[in-house]
Structure 1
Amino acid sequence: MTFVTLNECPPGLFRTEDGTYGFKSEYSTTTVDAYCLESGEYFWGGATNAEERGALKVEPVDFLAQIKAAEAEAARHAANLDNEKAAHDRTRERLKDAEAAKRDAENQKRFFESRASSAEKRMEQAQGTAMELRGRLLELKANQMIRRGDLSDPRLPDAYDDGVPF
């Protein structure tokens, strides 16, 4: 609000230029009835007569409007805090989800590393077996080892063939 003279000020609370609070009554006789808010004394504001007092600059104060404005500001601030808290909670949930995904990925990595290690061991075993079989094949070719079943017609049963090479 702006400063007006005490005579122009509406009834109610007012503040002087030096920060003193007062109250102007609506029940005035010939001069303005104004009182100091702190002490309840008749308000003079440093003036020496009624005319000077009526010409003093004061600012009307509407505490109820200021309280409502402060409450509205507090509500806006509370809503902003609620929004920030909700955003913080969402971020915390995303972080938990990311940590869980990281743990899952690490578990999968360990699982696949274990499978790869097992596959490598089986591959080494298969290579060893293949080398052993190659060696036996070369030995068979070199020694010309033949089973009894290889000498007769395979379609005919051989009474002496026990399936064991000699």
Structure 2
Amino acid sequence: MADNQYITIMLQSLHKKEKVLNSIIQINKRQKEELENPSLDPDDFDKTVEEKSELIEQLELLDNGFEKLYEKVREELQTNKELYKDEILQMQGSIRALAEKSMEIQAQEARNKQLMEQKFASVKKQVREIRSSQKVVNQYYKNMMKKGYVEPHFLDNKK
């Protein structure tokens, strides 16, 4: 009977994992919108990343808990497959759905990574432009203040 409770808990764990993966999918969509926004606020983006990080930690805890429970009931499930047939089918279906969601998340992550690289390249370009314009302004200032001015010299090479 205790094994049956473990199996119920494993099913609940899979359902919780599905909810967490759905939340990650939604956050990835929000992250994509933020990265496509030219007036991105870095603080908002950081909050999104932190939210996703918390969800990933939850996912890892659920995975670890599921693995521990499976280790406890693996032998029982293998020896009494017919007794737990419905539960096994439910778990298999849930695991397939989770695998599909994981693949969707990986695709989203790849797209977001590409957008992030483009965003960073754009920011680097802006920084270079700012530095170059600051250099020009400083050079102009020096010229106007005649700090960089060198008096002309005439050297007589004859002795």
Structure-2-length-normalised TM-score: 0.38
Answer 1 or 2: which has greater helix percent.
Answer: 2
Q: Based on CA coordinates, which of the two structures has the bigger radius of gyration?
A: 1
Normalised by the length of structure 1, the TM-score is 0.37
